[in-house]
């Protein structure tokens, strides 16, 4: 599960993609710009801080990575975390106007498996599921294993009744929770495969 990197109420000030009049990158805006009332930047998913720094364009920035997702946040005023793992919804920093920024906001750039994508199109259910995870979902149900708090997001999925191709298109389990459940039960399940099957 992924959520937006800001809390409500918020406003998008510049969208991802080609923006008429945008002065950089031949008019292509590489992320989504947000402002919000509380000015907090929050983790879109369970992840890990892999980089913090400063440059003239991004100002103070912070980078998260997990399972092929790389979230980059720019123009930070101050950090609220030092490093390590973060949980979905956790406040990471306060947005600011550092670097090449005309006002207080956060620029959120997202790459999925190296491809630059629109953060707004990656909110809600995951779009990636591995074949091993799919098989584990079937095994958990067959064995009656109570995977709370992960089970609620899993048993409602169409993975129980569809084949692998359909589940790739339809199932939306919380992938990070599945990884954590596997980690918590390492003696029961083998490590998940790194190969992920892209939706579509």
What residue segments make up the domains of the chain, in order of their start?
10-121, 128-198
- Range of lowest pLDDT (46-55, 62-71, 140-149, 187-196): 187-196
- Range of lowest pLDDT (33-37, 48-52, 122-126): 122-126
DSSP letter for 26, please: G
- Range of lowest pLDDT (31-40, 114-123, 177-186, 191-200): 191-200
Query: What pLDDT was estimated at residue 82?
Result: 92
Judge residue 35's burial from the number of C-beta atoms within 10 Å of its C-beta, 0-12 exposed, 13-18 middle, 19 or more buried. middle
- Between residues 172 and 37, the one the model is more confident about: 37
Query: What pLDDT was estimated at residue 6?
Result: 93
| 162 has pLDDT over 70 | no
Query: What pLDDT was estimated at residue 148?
Result: 47
Q: What is the mean predicted confidence (pLDDT) over 132-136?
A: 59
Q: Take residue 28 and report the two structure tokens written for it.
A: 């292509």
- Between residues 160 and 86, the one the model is more confident about: 86
pLDDT above 90: percentage of residues in the chain: 42
- Range of lowest pLDDT (89-93, 111-115, 139-143): 139-143
Give the residue ranges of DSSP H helices in the chain.
Answer: 131-143, 151-155, 164-170, 175-184
Report pLDDT digits (tens) over 79-99: 999 999 999 899 999 999 999
Q: Judge contact between 125 and 196, C-beta under 8 A.
A: no
Q: How confident is the model at residue 20 (pLDDT cuts 50, 70, 90)?
A: confident
10-121 topology per CATH:
Glucose Permease (Domain IIA) (2.70.70)
| 74 has pLDDT over 70 | yes
C-alpha triplet 12, 113, 93: angle, nearest 5°: 45
Q: What is the mean predicted confidence (pLDDT) over 138-152?
A: 54
């Amino acid at each position: 599960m992924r959520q937006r990197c800001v809390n409500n109420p918020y406003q998008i000030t510049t969208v991802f993609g080609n923006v008429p009049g945008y002065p950089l990158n031949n008019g292509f805006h590489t992320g989504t710009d947000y402002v919000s009332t509380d000015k907090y930047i929050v983790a879109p998913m369970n992840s890990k801080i892999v980089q913090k720094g400063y440059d003239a364009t991004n100002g103070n920035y912070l980078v998260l990575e997990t399972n092929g997702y790389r979230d980059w946040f720019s123009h930070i005023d101050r950090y609220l975390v030092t490093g390590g793992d973060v949980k979905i919804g956790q406040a990471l920093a306060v947005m600011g106007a550092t670097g090449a920024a005309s006002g207080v906001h956060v620029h959120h750039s997202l790459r999925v498996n190296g491809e630059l994508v629109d953060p707004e199109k990656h909110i809600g259910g995951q779009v990636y599921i591995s074949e091993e995870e799919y098989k584990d979902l079937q095994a958990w149900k067959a064995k009656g294993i109570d995977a709370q708090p992960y089970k609620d997001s899993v048993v409602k999925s169409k993975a129980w009744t569809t084949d692998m191709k359909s589940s790739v298109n339809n199932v939306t389990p919380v992938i990070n929770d599945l990884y954590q459940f596997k980690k918590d039960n390492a003696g029961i399940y083998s490590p998940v495969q790194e190969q992920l099957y892209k939706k579509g």
